[in-house]
Every structure is written in structure tokens, then in C-alpha cells.
Amino acid sequence: QVQLVQSGAEVKKPGASVKVSCKASGYTFTSYYMHWVRQAPGQGLEWMGIINPSGGSTSYAQKFQGRVTMTRDTSTSTVYMELSSLRSEDTAVYYCARDGYSSGWDWGQGTLVTVSS
């Protein structure tokens, strides 16, 4: 079965960067795109971008252009999301989600990133 296991919680200072990982198993890693979505405390879901694990191509939400970088390592079936120039408003749970096409999205368990001085 599809499993997406994300890295653990992070605490960062304003201005720093954070890199969250999402290790995939149970399917052919390079055959399915991966989304990143975040959720601030008490708020709704926000789409950040998508990566094609096959060739590494990406598309980012305009709001995060210039601050977010999504990469992948096919040798370990892991995708990464790095967000730079962190501010308090970036405190959120970050999710990876596999786009299953004709089966819907499968979600990781989420990673809490706290930005605080």
C-alpha cells in the first residue's frame, strides 16, 4: 500500500530555511506527481506546488515563487520541500500528497514547522 512518511517537527528562527522530506513506498516513485500543501494553525489547506519525480520538473504557487524549492532523490524515493526566509506566518503543518490520478491523492502524516524567535 502507498505510504508517505514525512520528517519530524522543526523549530526555526525567522529568516532561516527549513527542508522537509517525504519518503514514498508501496508504488513506483517516478510514476506519480507529488504535491506539497500547508495548513496554518486553525486555518484551511493551501497548495504550495508540485514536483514530477521522474524528471524533477516543478510548478510553484505564485505566492511561494522565489522562496520554495522542491527536489527529489530517486535513489531513496524521497521528495523534499525547502522553504527559505521563514517568517512567523510560515508556522504550519506541511503535507506531501501523491497525486494518484484515477484514485485520488494519498497524504503524508504532516510535518509541523514552527517559526519563532
Chain residues in the site for other proteins (CB under 8 A): 35, 37, 44-47, 50, 59, 61-62, 95, 97, 100, 102-110
DSSP state of 13: -
Nearer Cβ to other proteins (14/100): 100
**3-state DSSP call for residue 53?**
coil
Nearer to other proteins, 16 or 63 (CB): 63
Shortest Cβ distance from residue 13 to other proteins (Å)?
Answer: 27
Q: Do residues 48 and 37 touch, judged by C-beta distance below 8 A?
A: yes
Q: How far is the CB of 16 from other proteins (least distance, A)?
A: 25
Least Å from the CB of residue 35 to other proteins: 6
In the bound complex, what is the minimum distance in angstroms from residue 50's beta carbon to other proteins? 7
| 54 touches 31 (CB < 8 A) | yes
Residue for cell digits 514552527? 114
Nearer to other proteins, 2 or 16 (CB): 2
Nearer to other proteins, 13 or 43 (CB): 43
* Separation CA 30–CA 112 (nearest Å): 26
Phi, psi at 105, each rounded to 5°: -85, 145
